[in-house]
Every structure is written in C-alpha cells, then in structure tokens.
Structure 1
C-alpha cells in the first residue's frame, strides 16, 4: 500500500471510529510514572507483519532465537484484562505524559525527538509495525534516549472490523519487530482510532500490554493549524493528563512546530513530563 493511500484510508476511517473510541473510553488511573510507583555474508532479515505470520516459514521463525546465539523471546507476563483503557497517569505533582502515534516517520519523528532531547523530556511513541521495519534506527534512538514505546498494530486497521486472529496478528507482529530494534517488547498498547473491543483488551493482556488511551487530543491529524494545536495542549494541561499527538500518518509539520512552542511553556509553568516505569 502506498503511503498516500494509507493516509487517505486513515482519514476516512477516523471520522467514524473516533466517535466510537471516545464513547467506549472511560477514566482509569495508571499506577506509576517515572517518578512514582504509579530502551561471511549476513543472513537475510526475517519477514515481519500479519501476512508473514500466516506462512509456515514465518511461524518457524517465531520459534527461533533473535540471533544464532541469542535466547528465544521471553514469554510476556499476562495481565488482568481491563474493560476500559487507561486515560490518565496517577501520582503527586504536576505530571503529564506526551504520546505520539502512527510512526516512526523519517520526515517528522527526528524533529520531535530533537525537541524532546533539547529539554530532556521523555515521551511514549505508539508505533506501527509497517513503519518500524523501514525506520529501525529511529526506534533504536528512542531506546537510547529513554523514551517508552507502545504497540499501535502493524497496518493501523480498525480493530472492530477484524476477527480475533487478525487482531492477534496485527498486535503480535508489531511487538516482535519492536523487540528486534528497541530491545524489549512493548508493555503498552493503543487501539488505532481509539476503537477498542473485547478481543483487543484480552489479547493485549495476554501479550503483557496495558491499554492506553488519552486525555487531551491535539487533533493534529486534522492539520488545524499550529496555533490551534498549541492552544489545545496548553488549555488542556493538568496533572495526570495524557496528550495525544501524531508523528506520522500525514503532514505533521504543524505538530513539529507546535511542540517547539508549547513544550517549553509547560515546563516553565511547572509541569513535569513522565513515562510509565517498565515492569520487571
């Protein structure tokens, strides 16, 4: 699928799915932030993605070590199945969490990472597997600079339109490729368009991932203008808030410019940006 086709499909789906996600989302506190309780010739790379998973060759690969001498993938710790995604972070003080969906993208993600590095701020990136395979160096940079990463499926589909096997393939393939370049499997999952269903909650828990939604939507996916994005973040800022932005899926130049303005303003106002601690 070409990049422009993917953007168009996402825009078409979002109009109906955004309302569905908002209607099914309720407040659940996240216990834990960074400061509270609560990274000869070589063989060809293995195939990744939901389609690759349906072939015997891909299944055989999933039983193999990551490298010839490395250990097999560790089984994730299974979690309690939630009925609602997490909306906010808990903890004392003026803590917020910044999240970016749909990447990584070579045109926009590096600029966002540069701004976060300038102010020594961590964020969480919810990654799509199909974008990870072409931008592994950006995922490695996220690990090196202390950012958390989450699973945002392989192709960014509307999960409520898929069967259970298809949802598993989207999620599991993405966790596999993230582990290959980030070094660890993701412990957080976000449904595309915020459209959750029972299977997504159940499968995420089986794979050791908590469901994470958001409190403040910048609506940057609509490209409303840099000033509008800045206003939405600054007016929505409050302790425990989770901010949703995007670093891929369309023209994100407004997002890049906006974060350069609102991030130092929030820091000067006494807010601290945090990400969840990893579970042992």
Structure 2
C-alpha cells in the first residue's frame, strides 16, 4: 500500500481553519450572550426590564415575551383561537361622526360583531357615536386618551391616559372596557405596570392592511386575504374613508375563503412578566466577577470607571475641579434639572387663540416650566417654516378648519413672561398634512390640552 505524505502547508492550513471555526463559535455565543467576551456578568439595574416589546408585523405567531425580572403579568393577545376558521375585526382611533356610522351599517348588514378601540378625547367629543357602537352589540376597548406613544411616557401619565379613557367610555356607553390596544403597538415596562394596576389585557393584531394609507381597494383586500390565517386579528381604522368604502368588499372576500367572524371571544393570551418598578430605581451597577481579580483589574470597563474588583456596587466619584468647571459651562447653556409636579387636563375654549390660551393657563396655574400635548380641531392654523438663509420663520395660514394630528411643546417663564414653543401638524379636508412651528393666529374650534408642570431643582440659570 502506498502511503501519501501530508505536506506541512496543508497541516498549517487545517490548523488555521480549525482556529477560525473555534473563534467563530465563541463569537456567535458572545453575540447571543454579550457577557461571555467581557468576562463580567453586568446587570445595569437602572435599565432592568426597560426594553420595549413592540408589536411585530404580520404573520407572527404569539410569543411568551418576558422581562428580566418581576412576578406579576399582563395578558397579551396577537391572534385568536387557531382551532377553527375564525377571524376578528377590530377598529382603532374612533369614534368618528362620519365614518363610524357607515362602518356600523356594513357590519350590521353582515351580522358581524367587531371590537372598537376608542380614543378617550374622541369619545368625550362624540359620545353619541360611542353609545351607538355599544347599542349595536360591538365590543369596546381602550386606546388611550390622546393616542400617545407609550414608550415615551411615564407610568403615571399612562395610568392617567387609561383612566381618563375608561371614564369617558363609561360615561358615554355605560361599559367599562377590559381590553387595551397600545397606539402604534408600542409598550414598555411602564405601560405593563400601568396595565397590571388597571387589570387590563392587551390586544394586538396579526394583519394590518394599512387602510389609512392605501387608496386602492384591491391593495387593501389583498393585504387582508393574502395573510389570512385561522385566528387572525385584523386591524382597521374607523376614521378611514377607505375602510368605510371598501369594508363590504373585504368582508365578502373573507367569507368567500370560508372564514367566520368572532368578536375576540376566543383571543389567545400569553402572559408577559412585569418588571417591578423598585428594581429600576437604584442607579448602581451590580458586578458578579467571573474571572480572577487580576484579569478583572485589566478590564477596560473597570479601569474606565475606577471600580474596585471586590466591590459589589459602584457609585460615581465626587466631581473633580474640571468636572465642576464643565458643569458650570453646561449651566451657561441653560440646562436645568426639573422634577414633575402636577398634571392638568384642560378643555380649551372655543374661538380663542391657541397660543394666548396656553399663556393664560400657565399664568393662572403658576407654571414656570412645563410641557403639553394638544388634540382637537383649529381654524386658521398659523404655521412657521424656518429658513436658514434668512434666519427667520416664514409663516403660512391654512384658511380652513383642520384636525390636529399632533401638537406638543414647552412652557417656560422668563422675567415674568411665559414663552410657548410648540410644533404642530394638522390635516385639512383633502388629507393634506401641514406641519411646522405653531404661531399666534391659530384659533381653537374644540380640543383639550394635557399639561405637565415641573419644579426646578437646578442651581443653573433660572
């Protein structure tokens, strides 16, 4: 038998390949667990459980999403019972005095019961439409009072949004909802804690045909039927003219696929663990060494923060003279430390200038620092567009009634004068969006303002 000699070059090549594969394995493992390659098990307590669990898009099955800590849970449904060919129709952002009745007529024609997730301020504005929904046998859910992004809100603000909406729906319909749909599908641990306290369940969706954007009926229908599954929860908007126009065709097409309709009675819930609030309150880093003290001392993280390897917690050191100078420089920039003080929900007076009304509220309530959000309708919306060439705002007036899509800003008192800075987006009758800085001349038709005041704790410029 002939024996073939293996050249040294091949041996070196094989050795390099094995090293590469071994390194790749470690790298993949450290990607899944970042603590592997650092040599430390670090738990940033101030961020524990703060990751957002955003609603995923179509065709995603329900998952048990859990935070890193906590004992209580909130039930979340992304689809209904998958045993039978049933789907659920849901409608967000109403009630609307024009399109909601049209949608109710179509549902009544097909003898279908749906669920309407209502915005609290719209329920207060159109209580008779909300009552009509319940009279016709449909379910109602809570969709916050101002349609806010929960990922950007405190727990207290979310609780207010939920409770104000609960009260509005109860007053209008006699029903207290137990179902909640977060605007945009976004929620974090602040929202979960609030919903746990309010004993509410989250309803998401598995199909979103983008009915508020799509213009063609074929596109909306295909977005639904192409992704149809057993237990699908379909998201519509009863504020959309497209939905009112094409819903009859959509229902017929779903029925032609031999599906029946269920009013979320068989929604499939999965529990999400809620991180406890006190777990996020301590600004410390807990360190559990996995390596020897000698190796830990060489860690860039340890060296950068001057952490003793034997220490269980670390606190920032006292400011050095350079840091004190930097803080003084920052104060010159007008940076202030503030703490939340009070919350106000104010019904805006009809026919008054919006900016002047906000100034009057700030003076009446003695608000030195604050932020606000506004919903409602206005006329003569006066919006400014900044031009860098001229270093000024070019103002434009929308000479018709418009719906406020978003309006938020700040309040600051300076030398006895209250300064209002706000950006606004409004939609006209052609669904054209106008956005920019808010200026005086914008007249309130109706609406409400949510204002949060702050108390300054800063030693900087006041």
Scaled to the shorter chain, the TM-score interval is 0.5 to 0.7
TM-score by length of 1: 0.68
Residues 126 and 150, structure 1, Cα contact 8 Å, conserved in 2 = yes
Q: Which has the higher strand share?
A: 2
The counterpart of 2:264, out of the listed 242, 252, 276, is: 276
- Change in Cα spacing, 1:27 to 1:171, as seen in structure 2 (3 Å) is farther
The counterpart of 1:264, out of the listed 244, 252, 271, is: 252
The alignment of Structure 1 onto Structure 2 pairs a total of residues equal to 208
Which residue of the partner structure matches residue 243 of structure 2?
255
Residues 180 and 201, structure 2, Cα contact 8 Å, conserved in 1 = yes
Which residue of the partner structure matches residue 191 of structure 2?
200
Question: 1:202 offset after TM fit, Å?
Answer: 2.2
Question: 1:277 offset after TM fit, Å?
Answer: 4.1
Greater relative CO (CA pairs within 8 A, separation 6+): 1
The counterpart of 1:22, out of the listed 14, 33, 55, is: 55
- Change in Cα spacing, 1:88 to 1:276, as seen in structure 2 (3 Å) is same
Q: Which has the higher helix share?
A: 1
TM alignment of 1:1-280, pairs within 5 A: 21-23=54-56, 81-82=72-73, 85-90=76-81, 92-248=83-239, 252-277=240-265
Question: 1:29 offset after TM fit, Å?
Answer: 5.9
Residues 155 and 193, structure 2, Cα contact 8 Å, conserved in 1 = no
Question: 1:142 offset after TM fit, Å?
Answer: 1.4
For residues 151 and 243 of structure 1, the distance between their equivalents in structure 2, rounded to whole angstroms, comes to 17
Residues 28 and 86, structure 1, Cα contact 8 Å, conserved in 2 = no
Question: 1:92 offset after TM fit, Å?
Answer: 3.1
Residues 104 and 128, structure 1, Cα contact 8 Å, conserved in 2 = yes
Flag structure 2 segments of 5+ consecutive residues without an equivalent. Answer: 1-51, 64-70, 267-462
Flag structure 1 segments of 5+ consecutive residues without an equivalent. Answer: 1-18, 31-79
Which residue of the partner structure matches residue 47 of structure 1?
none
TM-score by length of 2: 0.42
For residues 120 and 139 of structure 1, the distance between their equivalents in structure 2, rounded to whole angstroms, comes to 19
Query: What SS does the corresponding residue of 1:85 show, helix, strand or coil?
Result: strand
Question: 1:206 offset after TM fit, Å?
Answer: 2.0
Residues 116 and 138, structure 2, Cα contact 8 Å, conserved in 1 = yes
